[in-house]
Homo-oligomer: A and B are copies of this chain.
Amino acid sequence: MTLNEIGSRARAVSRDLNSLGSREKNMGLEEAARGLLEGEDEILAANEEDCKRAEENSMSQGLLDRLKLTPARVQSMADGLLKVASLEDPVGEVISMKLRPNGLKIGQKRVPLGVIGMIYEARPNVTADAFGLCFKTGNAVILKGGSDAMESNKAIVRWIRRGLIRAGLPEDAVQLIEDTSRETTRELMRLNQYVDVLIPRGGAGLIRAVVENSTVPVIETGTGNCHIFVDESADFHMALDIIFNAKTQRIGVCNACESLVVHRRIASDFLPLLKKKLEEKQVEIRADEAARAIEPSFAAAEPEDWGREYLDYILSLKLVDSVDEAIQHINTYNTGHSEAIITSDYFNAQKFLDEVDAAAVYVNASTRFTDGEEFGFGAEIGISTQKLHARGPMGLKELTTTKYIIYGDGQIRS
């Protein structure tokens, strides 16, 4: 099937999905979940093919782990669909309705976006997750997964579509692009006629490529160079716990802490404690000169360190003279993801919340909480680091748009 045919089918089916009630959509999700469990053997066999090929191509252990499916992971994909079925459907809500002086009633109603394109790497669970969230919100989804996971994705999509058919629902609600050529990906990024929004999920390179080449509107999900600022009034114990959690609880994620900013006045007391705490996990600290004057065992930070997302047991460290300098440093080097201040000072907490430019700004908590589940959305399709449409974790609501509905009785404009 050509990309144009896929697009045209998605557009056509999106009109039907738009009219489905929550009950029908939930039935579709339940049958899709059942499909995944029924197809488990086929899905695992397909995944084994992918993994074998990946090993032959010397895929790294980390990536291989994300690619690998097990019975438990298939179960978890199915559970994910049931979970989405249990969430409240945002579609159809009328957010506001106003009566204008001329008698027009003008309302704003939440509606599906239409057709969503997902571009992602070799994580087959994204295939089921993305379908679930898009379907629940009445959107058709076109999936472009990594070629390394192609057989897995094909099997997953096949069984989801069987579930939809059994529920009497249009199977083209989810389509997988099987042509993995660069040209096809580029074409998808310019398929404005059929695709309403593209959501790239993956590494910085993938996301940059989509932002650079796409004429379809993109929701940028992103890298996180997340900071924690330890203010002079910080509770040291709290600061150490939060830093340890944000740096080491899971190193490969976008909301992990990558950089520390510490108030100079507490540095000589705090840095030795910090060093000791982070040694528990052999975290390498790359510090500025002032910090190294206190703790010579710290490595020397290069200028590039301030802007780096390590995704590793490494942390950069800078001393500052004030909350203002901390905010300025963070606003210069952050990626607009998650930033935290540890403080007991009311005014500094407010200032930090007001002035730091990021999707999520924390007082006295770990940056690791930036997540749809933790924020109470029940699920997420990604974390937006851009400012248009959605910022921060994106749940079901972020997969909708609005339209104005206007009730008149003959009004004309004068």
Contacts and interface: CB of A to CB of B under 8 A. Distances in A.
A52 B7 CA distance: 49
A254 interface: no
A401 B98 CA distance: 23
A352 B204 CA distance: 43
A359 interface: yes
A363 interface: yes
A179 interface: no
Contacts of A407: 363-365
Contacts of A212: 215
B401 A387 contact: yes
* Interface size, A (range): 35 or more
B218 A217 contact: yes
A197 B387 contact: yes
A366 interface: yes
Contacts of A363: 406-408
Contacts of A245: 412-413
A354 interface: yes
A15 B364 CA distance: 23
A261 B219 CA distance: 36
Interface stretch (A24-32, A142-150, A368-376): A368-376
Contacts of A391: 401-404
Interface stretch (A74-82, A160-168, A234-242, A276-284): A234-242
A24 to B, nearest CB: 15
B364 A409 contact: yes
A363 B409 CA distance: 8
A23 interface: no
A404 B361 CA distance: 6
Interface string A393-414: 0000000011111111111111
Contacts of A215: 211-212
Contacts of A211: 192, 215
Contacts of A392: 402-404
A331 interface: yes
A129 to B, nearest CB: 20
A355 interface: yes
Contact of A365 (B18, B366, B408): B408
A196 B362 contact: no
A138 to B, nearest CB: 11
Given A215-B212, A331-B15, A388 B387 contact: no
A215 B211 CA distance: 6
B408 A388 contact: no
A386 interface: yes
13 contacts: A104-B369, A196-B387, A217-B388, A249-B414, A361-B405, A361-B406, A364-B407, A364-B409, A389-B389, A391-B402, A391-B404, A392-B402, A392-B403
A362 B19 contact: no
A353 interface: yes
A355 B376 CA distance: 31
A114 interface: yes
Contacts of A380: none
